[in-house]
Amino acid sequence: MRVAAVDCGTNTIKLLVADLDADSGREQELVREMRMVRLGQGVDRTGRLSEAALERVFGAVDEYAEMVSRHDVEAIRFCATSAVRDAENAADFTAGVEERLGVRPEVVTGEEEARLSYAGATRTLQAGLEPPFLVLDIGGGSTELILGDDDGTVREAQSLDIGSVRLTERHLVTDPPTPEELAAATADVDAALDACRVDPDAAEAVIGVAGTVTTTAAAVLGLTAYDRTVLNHAVVGVSAVEGTVNRLLSMTVEERKALPFMHPGRADVIGAGALILQRVLSRTHVRSMLVSEADILDGIAWSLVGGVSGG
């Protein structure tokens, strides 16, 4: 079955077009695209999606609609997450997407977002990892922690209102951030984790997904360019991640942009996202983290063919 999945988050909007075989579990990827649109810019402060942010998103959706039309897609699912959940003018977003793509976007709950992320991240895991797994999905507006088993069963999941864009706008306003700003951001993250019902220390393996994790891993590995094939299922040490996070937080935005693997649209918020990663890992007993390029986007796609429970 040929499907299209769209994941519209606080910072990025992603498209996957793929041929999926539900019986064999095989996937043939036809299109995988990402655009940095910063839909959630200012939402934490104003409670609204700005006109400029909506225009950026609609421009990307126009591009995606053209791509989808060229591939004879049989089913499409468009999921929007944290920024739209928090916005009082979400109806403007919904109407604009439906007009351009012909499908009504779903504003998924944090729990549904977590379940889809877990399904996407764990579908193609190789043998050798001991459950329970903690899937960690750090987005622009929220962070999902999902504890589950190797058969896809989710034991516990929670979506937290901490993310790279949200934390940057709240606290990390100086370039580079001051010690006082870092302390305030750290306290915010720790408070959210203290109240989280998912205990990171219960996990025997941590699987990190999405741009904050993959970009931080690229820094740990010293990549000379962003390479999905190298990053997918790469293993990085927790101590190496901590050192890399400290280095990223000490850099200016321009210094981060000069890193060969850094997307320019992520450079201003990667520090806050990396801080969240560091604080979660500090609560685990694992010594390494598995990086996955498969994430919620893949979970959305497989939900269209019954490959995700409840999808």
The dihedral region occupied by 42, where left means phi > 0, alpha psi between -120 and 50, and beta the remainder, is left
Q: Does residue 82 register a pLDDT over 90?
A: no
Q: What is the dihedral of CA 53, 56, 62, 68, to 10 degrees?
A: -90
pLDDT digits (tens, 9 = 90+) for 234-250: 999 999 999 999 999 99
CA-nearest of 53, 19, 17, 21 to 38 is 53
Residue 85 CB partners (closer than 8 Å, separation 6+):
107, 109, 110
125-292 shares the fold of 2-110: yes
pLDDT, residue 127, reads 66
What confidence category does residue 25 fall into, taking pLDDT thresholds of 50, 70 and 90? Answer: confident
Tell whether the model's pLDDT for residue 309 goes beyond 90: no
Which CATH superfamily is 125-292 part of?
Exopolyphosphatase. Domain 2 (3.30.420.150)
What local confidence, expressed as pLDDT, does residue 291 receive? 97
Confidence of residue 310 (pLDDT cuts 50, 70, 90): very low
Q: Give the chain's mean pLDDT.
A: 93
Residue 74's closest CA among 96, 53, 103?
103
Whether the per-residue pLDDT at 311 is higher than 50: the answer is no
Three-state helix/strand/coil letters over the chain: CEEEEEEECCCEEEEEEEEEECCCCEEEEEEEEEEECCCCCCHHHHCCCCHHHHHHHHHHHHHHHHHHHCCCCCEEEEEECHHHHHCCCHHHHHHHHHHHHCCCCEECCHHHHHHHHHHHHHCCCCCCCCCCEEEEEECCCCEEEEEECCCCCEEEEEEECCCHHHHHHHCCCCCCCCHHHHHHHHHHHHHHHHCCCCCHHHCCEEEEECHHHHHHHHHHHCCCCCCHHHHCCCEEEHHHHHHHHHHHHHCCHHHHHCCCCCCCCCCCCHHHHHHHHHHHHCCCCCCEEEEECCCHHHHHHHHCCCCCCCC
Supply the pLDDT for residue 41: 87
Given this model, what pLDDT does residue 123 score?
Answer: 85
126 pLDDT tier (thresholds 50, 70, 90): confident
Domain assignments of the chain as residue spans, ordered by start = 2-110, 125-292
pLDDT, tens digit, for every residue of 91-119?
Answer: 999 999 999 999 999 988 888 888 899 99
pLDDT digits (tens, 9 = 90+) for 252-287: 999 999 999 999 999 999 999 999 999 999 999 999
Bond before 200 cis per omega within 30 degrees:
no
| Strand 75-80 with 2-8, pairing | parallel
Check whether 63 has a pLDDT greater than 80. yes
Q: What phi and psi, each to the nearest 5 degrees, are found at residue 72?
A: 50, 55
Q: Which of 133, 141, 181, 147 is nearest to 53 (CA)?
A: 141
Instruction: Give the model's pLDDT for residue 217.
Output: 98
pLDDT tens-digit series, residues 200-219? 999 999 999 999 999 999 99
Q: How many CB atoms lie within 10 A of CB 63?
A: 15
Q: How far apart are CA 51 and CA 136, in angstroms?
A: 31
What local confidence, expressed as pLDDT, does residue 307 receive? Answer: 63
- What is the spatial distance between Cα 147 and Cα 135, in angstroms, rounded to a whole number? 6
Q: Could you tell me if residue 293 is left (phi over 0), alpha (psi between -120 and 50 degrees) or otherwise beta? A: alpha
Q: Could you tell me which CATH class the domain 2-110 is placed in?
A: alpha beta
pLDDT at 306: 85
Residue 13 has pLDDT above 80, yes or no: yes
**Structure confidence at residue 308 as a pLDDT band (50, 70, 90):** low
Closest C-alpha to 289, from 248, 240, 238: 238
Is the pLDDT at 24 greater than 80? The verdict is yes
pLDDT, tens digit, for every residue of 167-205? Answer: 999 999 999 999 999 999 999 999 999 999 999 999 999
